Structure 1
Amino acid sequence: MSLLAHGNSISNVEVTNISTHGVWLLAHEKELFMSYDDFPWFKEKTVKSIINVEEQSLDHFYWPDLDVDLTREIIEHPERFPLKSKST
């Protein structure tokens, strides 16, 4: 999250859509799609827990309610990171 001089905050990352197929994340004006097949941790979770996302460093995203930690590279190229944990 960036802080402006006047105290207003502007998030560099936000969830823009949740569907039956996956989650869309907007980060730095680029939309990223996370299918439930590749990112099962989001399936059947509450909207509140999915939209609670933080950018801990540039292109490094964390969902504290889900304890999910992903980078832009993982989201854009899940085939390079085939190990997945089972969703709970």
Structure 2
Amino acid sequence: MNSSQLGKSTSEIEVTNISGHGIWLYVRGTEHFLPYDQYPWFKEKTVSQIANVEEPNPGHYYWPDLDVDLSEAILLNPDKFPLQAKGT
């Protein structure tokens, strides 16, 4: 027996995993790892806060419960953005 997908996926962006080291963000076929040492805003937050992510504009990712904004450019080229915020 084969299972087939019943419809188109409605999720273009989602958090696929949360670990003790960081989170994994899936965006249109690409998964990005965001380690807590580079993205401290996610450390020690609740699953629901981390999982609540939106894409208000293409390439702009926003976590409203955490008031965190990241861009696709930051995720693809973190070395080009050496300044990092301190965790609160």
Secondary structure of residue in 2 paired with 1:62: strand
Report the Cα offset of residue 10 of structure 1. Answer: 1.3
RMSD (Å), alpha carbons:
1.6
Quote the Cα distance in structure 2 between the aligned partners of 1:46 and 1:10. 24
The count of aligned residue pairs is 81
* Structure of higher CA gyration radius: 2
Report the Cα offset of residue 78 of structure 1. Answer: 1.6
List alignment gaps of at least 5 residues for structure 2.
1-8
Match of 1:73 in 2: 73
TM-score (norm 1): 0.84
Identify, as 1 or 2, the structure richer in strand. Answer: 1
List alignment gaps of at least 5 residues for structure 1.
1-8
Secondary structure of residue in 2 paired with 1:10: coil
Quote the Cα distance in structure 2 between the aligned partners of 1:84 and 1:76. 15
Q: Which residues of 2 match residues 1-88 of structure 1 at below 5 A?
A: 10-88=10-88
TM-score (norm 2): 0.84
